[in-house]
């Protein structure tokens, strides 16, 4: 599901705008126009009712479909066309013809009420029947959902998200209260409330109050990275939402109404309250289970190994001169079941990892090693730098989707077989992914987490890496001596200065500042510099990183369009493809935005060709290192232009050259960790374009917004409980800290 489609529609409806109609004449005298949307049937045998908006784009006026429904066919040919439309997995044109030949106009009744009779059809096996039943039930459920929620003008894509959240009971749940939608990502309370009130909803309905509470928790998690909200904060935020659109004071809700509903939710397990800190149940479980597993590993550590002789041998043969801290990091990996290595770029983290790996190979020739990182680019860089070719993304290594569509959410999985697990860029790991990771580590395995806590925190909720470092229970080695870059290179040194709040930066050929007073002027200079850099280094080695995604001429989206017109201008319609509002061309630089089996979210590549075949347009993509893929139109929705991207999107990546705008318009986003993250993506050159006072302001702005998380405290609580049970002394400092934490 979730496939973007472009279809040609024929109709007798004279209300189709003249400018949207095909200019060709047809024998049936019906009007033709183009419609775009998700999961639209691509066959002329299905009659549809479409609802949407006429939009004008580069290729003329098209109907952008917001929702659609099938008109149930009543004839044999209509039923056969419906079955062959591709809406039902397991039934193609040949099978559809056989089914209708046997059951005639009763086919849909058979499918709905007696699906087992399909086994009478040659070629339909038990497993194929299960596919058909599941697909048909899902298709009907989505249609029922779209009908029920028609006031919300939801798309099939959104209906699928709702179905994935609530399951087969979706329609029944939402019939009781549409405010349950507030539990689903993308449905803000105010959006749901406006439609419910328009249809006569009760302002004081407890389900409305519950919806506001759910949304306040979801919004704080997705928008601010909080795992919980203090009860008072939650109640005030819910009350603000509830009364936001009520002008008359006499109609507004009071805090006691919110308190009563919240208490009822706690009583029925719909939220979790711990010392009046309110969690969504799944979020609490993630934090609590992760803390429990980590504490158990700390109480029952792997047996320490003597590596002195092997380490000396490795150092001698590899010609290594490790610093005292680098050596300490290697020893920690073999003395503890869980250890952490931190440091900014150039401080020798890769050397430490190569040493750990080589020592392990010699100690355990048959031992299994797994290297992982949150992004595809980071995992490939890890493989290249260590010489270990089996590095994977965490999602791939753990067999995961996203948090929303995680197919394994309720399925217990076996532990990883690895004896040594090293994860790089761990600062990018959020609470959901950390929970998945720590749940899969077998007893006795050694785990080394590597990262830079001064970079931006994870996009998802939580502050896992910082909590693990600060909990005081896990051995942490901080590498702070710069090795990697030569003394003439300024990037690592300036990164260190920025991290210390020092504005006395060094500028030179590899750390350049270009003055510009506004976004338009900055955009012109960025484009000119970009063209110069790609001519010198190649387009795949240069990246523009903007603090903003879409606002202003120096935002990632607007820079993408402007740069594309310079470096890859329009040549012919055959070399372009339009996907919704996006236009892609042959030779465009693109970024994957969703994890798949073959490419990861954040992977960069190029469009190599666009062609037509019997299944529609096909697009050839080159993601490098032998990953040449062919995408359908449906797959293309997961691509963005990538001449420029946001700093957040670049986390976990490295480029030869980074170009960054720094302007007053960006000040709302510019903090020290954002600036630091941006410049540390560069290996050889940084070009900053904007205003120096904005650069200095960003260096001084270190007011990191605290995320509500108690992972570190929970690790300490569980460690204390497990240690006492095992007769292990609990450090006095931990006792005092836990007493202070309550």
Annotated binding site for ATP: 346-350
- Name the DSSP class of 441: P
Tokens of 400: 């995961």
CA torsion through residues 396, 401, 402, 408, sign:
negative
Cβ proximity of 220 and 271 under 8 Å = no
Task: Give the residue from 484, 435, 493 showing the smallest Cα distance to 461.
Answer: 435
**Which region holds residue 225: left if phi is over 0, alpha if psi is between -120 and 50, else beta?**
left
**In a 3-state reduction of DSSP, which class is residue 74?**
coil
Residues 663 and 419: their CA atoms lie apart, in Å, by 48
Per the document, the length of the chain is 742
Please say whether the beta carbons of 322 and 315 come within 8 A. yes
- Residues in Cβ contact with 732 at an 8 Å cutoff, skipping those fewer than 6 apart: none
DSSP-derived pairing of the beta strands 60-70 and 31-38: parallel
Q: Which residues are annotated binding-site positions?
A: 346-350
* Residue 537 · residue 530 · CB < 8 Å: no
Give the residue ranges of DSSP H helices in 399-537.
Answer: 431-438, 464-470, 491-499, 519-537
CB 623 within 8 A of CB 507: no
Q: Write the secondary structure of 611-644 as one string of H (helix), E (strand) and C (coil).
A: EEECCEEEEEEECCCCCEEEEECCHHHHEEECCE
CA distance 146 to 152: 9
Q: Exposed e or buried b for every residue in 479-501, given b needs 16+ CB within 10 A? A: beebbbbeeebbbbbbbbbbbee
Per-residue DSSP letter, 552:
S
d(CA 254, CA 224): 26
The whole-angstrom separation of Cα 188 and Cα 214 is: 10
Residues 6+ apart with CB under 8 A from 657: 533, 537, 541, 542, 543, 682, 684, 685, 686, 687
- Of 336, 349, 386, 357, whose CA–CA distance to 478 is shortest? 349
Where helices occur in 229-375 by DSSP H, the ranges are: 231-243, 255-267, 281-299, 308-318, 324-335, 349-363
Burial readout 175-200 (b: 16 or more C-beta within 10 A, e: otherwise): eebbbbbbbbeebebeebbeebeeee
330: how many CB neighbours lie within 10 A of its CB?
25
Radius of gyration of the chain (CA): 29
Helix (H, G, I), strand (E, B) or coil at 514: strand
Q: How many DSSP H helices and E strands does the chain contain? A: 25, 25
- CB-CB contact of 313 with 422 (8 Å): no
Residue for token pair 């002027």:
521
SS3 sequence, 198-245?
HCCCCCCCHHHHHHHHHHHHHHHHHHHCCCEEEHHHHHHHHHHHHHCC
Tokens at 383, concatenated: 């493989």
């Amino acid at each position: 599901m979730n496939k973007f489609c472009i279809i040609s529609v024929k109709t007798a409806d004279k209300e189709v705008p003249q400018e949207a109609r095909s200019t060709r004449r047809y024998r049936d005298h019906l009007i033709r126009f183009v419609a775009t949307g998700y999961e639209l049937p691509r066959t002329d045998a299905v009659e549809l009712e479409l609802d949407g908006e006429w939009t004008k784009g580069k290729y003329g006026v098209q109907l952008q479909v917001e929702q659609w429904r099938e008109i149930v066919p009543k004839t044999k040919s209509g039923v056969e066309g419906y079955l062959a439309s591709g809406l039902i997995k397991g039934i193609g044109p040949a099978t559809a013809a056989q089914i209708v030949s046997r059951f005639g106009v009763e086919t849909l009744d058979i499918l709905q009420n007696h699906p087992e009779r399909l086994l009478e059809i040659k070629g339909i096996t038990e497993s194929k029947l299960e596919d058909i039943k599941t697909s048909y039930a899902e298709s009907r459920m989505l249609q029922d959902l779209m009908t029920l929620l028609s006031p919300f003008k939801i798309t099939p894509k959104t209906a699928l998200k709702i179905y994935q959240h609530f399951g087969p009971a979706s329609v029944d749940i939402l019939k009781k209260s549409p405010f349950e939608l507030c539990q689903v990502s993308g449905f803000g309370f105010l959006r749901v409330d406006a439609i419910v009130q328009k249809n006569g909803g009760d302002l004081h309905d407890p389900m409305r109050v519950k919806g506001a509470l759910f949304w306040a928790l979801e919004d704080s998690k997705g928008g601010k990275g909080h795992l919980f909200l203090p009860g008072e904060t939650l109640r005030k935020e819910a009350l603000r939402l509830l009364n936001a659109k009520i002008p008359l004071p006499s109609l507004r809700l009071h805090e006691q109404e919110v308190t009563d509903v919240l208490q009822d939710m706690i009583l029925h397990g719909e939220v979790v309250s711990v010392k009046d800190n309110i969690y969504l149940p799944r979020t609490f479980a993630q934090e609590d289970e992760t803390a429990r597993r980590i504490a158990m590993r700390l109480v029952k550590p792997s047996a320490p190994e003597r590596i002195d002789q092997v380490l000396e041998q490795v150092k001698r043969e590899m010609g290594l001169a490790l610093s005292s801290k680098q050596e300490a990091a290697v020893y920690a990996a073999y003395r503890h079941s869980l250890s952490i290595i931190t440091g900014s770029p150039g401080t020798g983290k890769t050397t430490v990892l190569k040493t750990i790996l080589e020592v392990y190979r010699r100690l355990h020739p048959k031992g299994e090693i797994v290297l992982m990182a949150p992004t595809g680019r980071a995992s490939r860089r890890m493989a290249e730098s260590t010489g270990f070719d089996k590095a994977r993304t965490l999602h791939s290594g753990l067999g995961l989707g996203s948090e929303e569509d995680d197919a394994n959410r309720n399925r217990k999985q076996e532990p990883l077989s690895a004896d040594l697990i090293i994860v790089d860029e761990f600062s990018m790991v959020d609470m959901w992914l950390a929970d998945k990771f720590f749940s899969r580590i077998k007893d006795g395995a050694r785990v080394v987490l590597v990262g830079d806590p001064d970079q931006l925190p994870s996009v998802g909720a939580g502050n896992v890496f910082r909590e693990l470092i600060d909990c005081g229970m896990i051995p942490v080695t901080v590498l702070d001596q710069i090795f990697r870059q030569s003394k003439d290179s300024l990037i690592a040194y300036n990164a260190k200065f920025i991290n210390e709040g020092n504005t006395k930066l060094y500028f030179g050929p590899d750390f350049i500042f270009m003055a510009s007073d506004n976004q338009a002027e900055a955009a012109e200079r960025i484009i000119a510099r970009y063209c110069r850099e790609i001519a010198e280094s190649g387009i795949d080695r240069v990246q523009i990183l903007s603090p903003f995604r879409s606002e202003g001429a120096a935002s990632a989206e607007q820079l993408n369009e402007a740069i594309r017109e310079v470096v890859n201008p329009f040549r012919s319609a055959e070399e372009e493809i339009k996907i919704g509002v996006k236009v892609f061309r042959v030779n465009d630089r693109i970024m994957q935005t969703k994890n798949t089996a073959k490419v990861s979210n954040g992977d960069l590549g190029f469009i190599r060709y666009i062609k037509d075949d019997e299944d529609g347009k096909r697009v050839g993509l080159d993601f490098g290192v032998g990953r040449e893929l062919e995408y359908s139109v449906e797959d293309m929705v997961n691509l963005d232009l990538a001449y420029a991207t946001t700093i957040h999107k670049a986390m976990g990546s490295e480029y030869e050259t980074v170009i960054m705008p720094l302007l007053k318009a960006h000040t709302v986003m510019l903090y020290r960790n954002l600036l630091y993250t941006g410049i540390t993506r560069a290996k050889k050159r940084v070009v900053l374009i904007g205003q120096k006072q904005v650069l200095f302001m960003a260096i001084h702005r270190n007011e990191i917004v605290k995320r509500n998380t108690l992972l570190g405290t929970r690790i300490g609580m569980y460690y204390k409980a497990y240690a006492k049970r095992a007769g292990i002394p609990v450090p006095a400092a931990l006792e005092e800290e836990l007493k202070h934490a309550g």
